[in-house]
Amino acid sequence: MRVPPVTAVAVLCVGLAGAAADATEPPSLERGEALWAKCHTCHTYQKDGRNLVGPRLYGIFGRKAGSVPDYHYSDAMKKSDVVWNDETLDGYLAATQDFMPGNKMYGGLAIEQDRIDLLYWLKKVTAPQGQ
């Protein structure tokens, strides 16, 4: 069976796009810390950090969304059943309003490698002591 040239090109392009999407580097603490500059205006990550425009992120991994007791969340965040982990935070940071319509956060990180690096760093600095 002869494959039409347009189909062959489409298959090749899809294959290359898939390969490019999988071409991430190992996580980098240094790059993650540098990316924090995009977040620190609205968030803190220390245990005794203040809530700013966004809630403090200390202990975020494994925590239910909308559960920092002294932060005023959107109804969307309070009513969600999301528990923050690598997968949910990656999805949220990739497209905050698509992931959870009506939440207060804007922005995020469109580049996959940026999310990988930031989450790697964030997991280290927000982990409760002894974990």
Please state the domain count of the chain.
Answer: 1
- Assess if residue 67 is contained within a domain: yes
CATH of the domain at 40: 1.10.760.10
Domain ranges, residue 118: 28-126
Q: Which residues contact 104 (CB under 8 A, 6 or more apart)?
A: 54, 73, 74, 77
**The pLDDT value given to residue 106:** 87
Q: How far is CA 13 from CA 1, 5, 9, 58, 112, in A?
A: 21, 12, 6, 42, 20
The CB-side HSE value for 42 (13 A sphere, CA atoms) comes to 10
Is residue 70 domain-resident?
yes
Question: What's the chain's average pLDDT?
Answer: 87
Ranking 16-25, 82-91, 98-107 by mean pLDDT, the lowest is: 16-25
Mean pLDDT of 101-117: 95
Q: Tell me the pLDDT band of 13, cut-offs 50, 70 and 90.
A: very low
Please state, in angstroms and rounded to a whole number, the distance separating the CA atoms of residues 124 and 34: 14
pLDDT band (50, 70, 90) for residue 44? very high
Q: Which pLDDT value is given to residue 21?
A: 52
Q: Flag whether 7 is in a domain.
A: no
Residue 41 lies in a domain: yes
| Inside any domain, residue 4 | no
Whether the per-residue pLDDT at 26 is higher than 90: the answer is: yes
